[in-house]
Structure 1
Amino acid sequence: MHHKLGDPDQRNSFSSRRRSVRFAELMRRFPNLDAMRVLDLGGTPEFWRATPVQPKYVTTVNLDPKYDPEEPWLDHVVADACELSTLDKCPGDYDLVVSNSLIEHVGGYQRRRDFAEVVTSAAPAHWVQTPNRYFPVEPHYVAPGFQFLPVRTRARLVSRWPLAHERVYTVPDALAQVLTIDLVSTAELRHLFPGSDIWHERLAGLSKSIVAVRAG
């Protein structure tokens, strides 16, 4: 079950509205997006079908095999976004790498370093967005301070928490879920992408999401 507040696929959800804000900033940074070849690490064809501007060509990469786009400007590759060999499976050269809310899920610091290497190897420009670890409300569970609680406490809470993006009902299942999320700070994002600009998406004056941006 998806909760409307945190489901970006719900048109009027909070997450969907914030995604629209970020896309507007993406367009401001890359006004010629419609002429660019984009590699989207962790994205889906549905995201790009719904955007107000479509790039010249998009390859989406994630581990889900269910996508098989028919549009000539869309391609989907089933692969690990943290492996450089993934780039061999992606056709052509790219102008821009886009990744939204993936890096916090790849699994540990070394995997995030590997992911950053894929990003910087694939194209001269990038946009890598992730929720800010120090925003007071954890975005996956819409729970204040949730990310700072002990792991076992998080699991017990999630098994009873109605606002999670993906509901689970047992502590073991909840534990498996919370361990897949490792929110990233501004300091770490800057370390992983040195030389990139860090843009802060703000809500009520606080930094809700952080984005490493390089214009190429």
Structure 2
Amino acid sequence: MNVIDLGGTATAWLRAPIKPASVHVINLAHDDQDLPDWLRTEVGDACDLPKRILGNGYDLVFSNAVIEHVGGYARRQAFADSVHSLAGKFWVQTPYRYFPVEPHVLFPFYQFLPVTTRARINRFWPLVHTKARDRPTALQDALEIELIGRAEMALLFPGARMRAERVAGLTKSLIAIRA
């Protein structure tokens, strides 16, 4: 299988228990580690891929917890358009907007708080993944994450099967799948 991973990392694929025939990772961050022949990385924007990537004939598009970071509905639609253009099959996962604990900062109902409150949490909450060093960075970090719900996922990925990952009976994340 020829897989393209939008927003992933080479390290995740090197640790994966199953290795596809080839994996092409597209990410905004550069990855300069030595990689096996079946794995390659490239710097790129999944919302605005060059034609040479779009016409590459992949078997599967994989994306884990990226779509909520691309910035606004228009960019999420562009991301979904890339997914649809790259392959007939896809697996796109995102944290669910209505899960009570926001997964990036591990703070209850964070996603529903005012931006200034979220920025303060980003600076001082002990469980945040990476604490912001100053207020402008904290504000930017707060605005970067836009969790989405089931209706928007269904709109972005029409005809896909929606699967819910659950924790304690609550939907933690959504996966749009077309097999």
Normalised-by-shorter TM-score class = over 0.9
1:58 maps to which residue?
A: 23
Aligned sequence identity (%): 50
Cα distance between partner residues in 1 of 2:114 and 2:14: 39
Q: Which 5+ residue runs of structure 2 have no aligned equivalent?
A: none
Cα distance between partner residues in 1 of 2:173 and 2:165: 5
Cα distance between partner residues in 1 of 2:12 and 2:93: 15
Runs of 4+ in 1 over 4 A off after TM superposition: none
SS at match of 2:40: strand
SS at match of 2:116: helix
- Once the 2 structures are TM-superposed, how far is the Cα of residue 143 of structure 1 from its aligned partner? 0.4
Computed over aligned residues only, the root mean square deviation of the Cα atoms, in angstroms, reads 1.4
2:88 maps to which residue?
A: 124
SS at match of 1:126: strand
2:47 maps to which residue?
A: 82
* Amino acid aligned to 1:203: V
Q: Which 5+ residue runs of structure 1 have no aligned equivalent?
A: 1-35
Cα distance between partner residues in 1 of 2:69 and 2:43: 17
1:48 maps to which residue?
A: 13
TM-score normalized with structure 2 length: 0.96
- Once the 2 structures are TM-superposed, how far is the Cα of residue 153 of structure 1 from its aligned partner? 1.1
CA contact (8 A) 2:54 2:86 kept: no
1:102 maps to which residue?
A: 66
TM-score normalized with structure 1 length: 0.80
- Once the 2 structures are TM-superposed, how far is the Cα of residue 90 of structure 1 from its aligned partner? 7.0
1:24 maps to which residue?
A: none
- Once the 2 structures are TM-superposed, how far is the Cα of residue 134 of structure 1 from its aligned partner? 0.3
1:156 aligned onto 2:120? yes
Change in CA separation of 1:89 and 1:197 when aligned onto 2, cut-off 3 Å = closer
- Counting strand residues as a fraction of each chain, which structure ranks higher? 2
CA contact (8 A) 2:160 2:177 kept: yes
Q: How many residues align?
A: 179
* Amino acid aligned to 1:80: D
